[in-house]
Amino acid sequence: MAGKLKKPGKIKEGQGAAFKDTIGAVRLAARIADERKADYIKVLNVGPRLVITDYFVIIGAGNTRLTRRIAEDIEINLKKHGVRPIHRDGASEGNWILMDYDDFVVHVFTEEYRLYYDLERLWRDSKLVKVKSGGAKTAQIKAGRKKGFNEIDLEDNDNDINIDLDTDLNTDNDEK
């Protein structure tokens, strides 16, 4: 693929055929993380600044057992839709698990590693893709009971792209 630019936001033929576009797979990864009680979920649109991928899905979890579980469940559920990682790293230690799906990369961190590597700061010029869920965690954050590491962005911003985790997954298989 050296020297060849890919169209942003499109899943390649034969990879992820169940999704109309990359954002459907990104939404599923974020939804699975939310369902598995991830403490922190952010999606960054890095495509305009990074040629090798379009989105980073950054997930935080309280311990290595949970990071492994979240990463495994994301991988299993994306495979059900025909999306497979081209590279996976870090599962043995579990502090930072990286799953490269070409058009998007899933990073599952423990709190300590997420704060240390601070990908959000490194890619701060990228647009934030807001992930919204109707879960209890969101209600607690809205009420101000959780801060810091557990924060999920809920504010609207013109530079942000919104993904509602409670909507359909945008698949070609959907019945109308």
pLDDT tens by residue, 144-165? 333 333 333 433 344 445 555 5
Domains identified in the chain, total number = 1
Residue 172 belongs to some domain of the structure = no
Chain mean pLDDT for the chain: 75
| Three-state DSSP state, 103 | coil
Q: Tell whether 12 is covered by a domain.
A: no
| Residue 17, domain member (yes or no) | no
Domain that holds residue 128: 22-134+147-152+159-164
Structural domain contains residue 120? yes
In a domain? residue 90 = yes
Burial 125-140 (b: 16+ CB within 10 A, else e): ebbbbbbbbeeebbee
Q: Which CATH number belongs to the domain containing residue 53 in this structure?
A: 3.30.460.10
Residue 104 near residue 11 (C-beta atoms within 8 A): no
Whether residue 140 lies inside any domain: the answer is: no
Residue 115 is assigned to a structural domain of this protein: yes
Whole-prediction pTM: 0.70
